[in-house]
Each structure stands twice: as structure tokens, then as C-alpha cells.
């Protein structure tokens, strides 16, 4: 049962992600609205977007505290995922083994920015005003995932051989039985919930950043005449 659920969630995520980015990709971008100072060349654009993806540069300029919370959250999340890759590979590549310890620390550290991000919406009036229930639920869901993970790691152990057999079984389309641990089930089902919700949510900023016209355009409005194709329709 849970195996089928995993495949359905996987399909919704992949198709949803592709659909959303496809819609954004074919949307009209009629104007040069590059944020100044903008890059003049294509490598410059790549560099600028990489600055956004890895360093959240625009956010840094706008709000230092939110930048710190957001950046630590994402980096910790990344290292947690990298640590988890040990369940997905057999044999486990050496670089994943070497990252294990950082991943464990990241599991604890992530709770700090998560609580901050939650409180920030709750406590600051103007943030609460623009926050939807799903904004809170998403953060809460990630807290539940991290918390149940830490509980499994430190207090109520789960059989990791079972976990690995379960994940590898799913990946090789030879599903085996799920680990017999309630905590693992809560952890895993919460992850599935997060993944299935991803394409329909603000979490899609992970893909959307690449389509942001103020960030992905070259500042070449004086070299090239940009004709808006809508003009032909109007004329």
C-alpha cells in the first residue's frame, strides 16, 4: 500500500514540477526589466543566478536577519539530504560517508531557523497579515520531520537495515516490507506529504528562481531592440 503511495507521490512531484516550469518557461516576458546593475553577458547571468541560488544575494540586501535564518535553514536541509543519501546507494560512495557527521549536526541546527521562520510569521504583525495557513503548516511539517528524525537517531532506534532495504526496494521497483516503526512511518509520511505538496506551493521557488526576469535577463536593451511580439497582434 505505502509502496504504491510512494510511486503516486513521485509521479505527482515530477509531473507537477515539469508542468509548472513548462508554464513559466513559455510565459511571455515582453519587457526588459533586468534589475540594475545587470550583467551584460550570458556567463554574467549564470553568475548572478548562482549568487541567488547559493548565497541568496537579493535577500541579503533586503533583510539581513531573514537572510541568516533562510540561508542556515537551506544549507542545513541540504546537508541532511546529503546524509540521507546513504539509504539510497549501495555501496555508499565515500563522499556521502564523509558528510555523515556534518549531516547529524545539520539535523539539530535546522530546528533553530525553523522556529525563527515560524515565529517571524506569527509574531510580526505585517508578516502574520500576509501568511496563509499553509505557510505555517509547511514549516511545522518540516519541524515534525526533523524532530522525528532526531528521536529515531537518539532515543527510539529504528532498524536501519530495514530502512535501507525498503528504500532500495522502492528504487529498484522491487518493493519490500516497510520498517516496523511508528516514528519512521510518521517521518516518512510527512516527507511524502511535503513532496506531494511541493509543485502546488511556494516551495516551487526552488525552480521559479531561474525564471525571474529581473535576475535572468541581460542588460542589453541599448544593444538589441527587444520587440514585444504582442505588438504585431495589436497593430
Alpha-carbon distance of 27 to 38, in angstroms, equals 22
Q: Which of 48, 83, 86, 215 binds ligand HEM (CB under 6 A)?
A: 83
Min separation Cβ 153 and ligand HEM, Å:
4
Site for ligand HEM in 124-153 (CB under 6 A): 142, 145-146, 149-150, 152-153
Min separation Cβ 227 and ligand HEM, Å:
45
Does the protein bind ligand HEM through residue 187 (CB under 6 A)? yes
Min separation Cβ 59 and ligand HEM, Å:
21
Does the protein bind ligand HEM through residue 104 (CB under 6 A)? yes
Which listed range, 9-17, 39-47, 83-91, 196-204, lies at the site for ligand HEM (CB under 6 A)?
Answer: 83-91
Does the protein bind ligand HEM through residue 109 (CB under 6 A)? no
Min separation Cβ 76 and ligand HEM, Å:
8
Q: Which residue number, 154 or 200, has a Cβ lying nearer to ligand HEM?
A: 154
- Inter-CA distances, 61 with 52, 192, 208, Å: 11, 34, 20
Alpha-carbon distance of 189 to 114, in angstroms, equals 19
Residues 6+ apart with CB under 8 A from 64: none
Min separation Cβ 183 and ligand HEM, Å:
9
Does the protein bind ligand HEM through residue 86 (CB under 6 A)? no
Alpha-carbon distance of 11 to 114, in angstroms, equals 28
Q: Which of 79, 188, 197, 198 binds ligand HEM (CB under 6 A)?
A: 188
- Interface residues with ligand HEM (CB under 6 A)? 77, 80, 83-84, 87, 103-104, 107, 142, 145-146, 149-150, 152-153, 158, 160, 163, 167, 184, 187-188, 191
Amino acid at each position: 500500500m505505502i509502496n504504491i503511495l510512494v510511486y503516486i507521490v513521485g509521479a505527482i512531484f515530477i509531473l507537477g514540477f515539469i508542468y509548472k516550469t513548462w508554464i513559466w518557461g513559455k510565459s511571455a516576458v515582453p519587457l526588459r526589466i533586468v534589475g540594475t546593475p545587470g550583467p551584460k553577458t550570458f556567463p554574467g547571468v549564470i553568475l548572478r543566478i548562482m549568487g541567488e541560488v547559493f548565497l541568496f544575494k537579493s535577500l541579503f540586501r533586503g533583510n539581513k536577519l531573514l537572510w541568516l535564518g533562510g540561508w542556515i535553514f537551506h544549507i542545513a536541509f541540504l546537508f541532511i539530504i546529503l546524509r540521507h543519501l546513504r539509504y539510497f546507494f549501495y555501496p555508499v560512495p565515500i563522499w556521502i560517508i564523509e558528510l555523515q557527521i556534518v549531516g547529524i549536526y545539520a539535523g539539530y541546527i535546522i530546528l533553530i531557523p525553523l522556529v525563527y521562520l515560524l515565529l517571524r510569521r506569527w509574531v510580526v504583525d505585517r508578516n502574520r497579515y500576509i501568511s496563509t495557513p499553509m505557510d505555517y503548516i509547511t514549516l511545522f511539517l518540516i519541524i515534525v520531520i526533523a524532530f522525528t528524525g532526531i528521536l529515531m537517531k537518539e532515543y527510539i532506534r529504528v532498524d536501519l537495515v530495514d530502512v535501507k532495504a525498503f528504500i532500495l526496494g522502492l528504487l529498484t521497483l522491487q518493493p519490500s516490507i516497510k520498517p516496523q516503526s511508528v516514528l519512521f512511518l510518521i517521518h516518512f509520511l510527512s516527507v511524502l506529504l511535503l513532496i506531494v505538496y511541493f509543485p502546488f506551493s511556494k516551495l516551487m521557488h526552488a525552480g521559479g528562481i531561474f525564471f525571474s526576469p529581473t535576475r535572468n535577463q541581460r542588460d542589453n536593451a541599448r544593444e538589441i531592440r527587444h520587440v514585444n511580439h504582442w505588438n504585431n497582434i495589436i497593430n
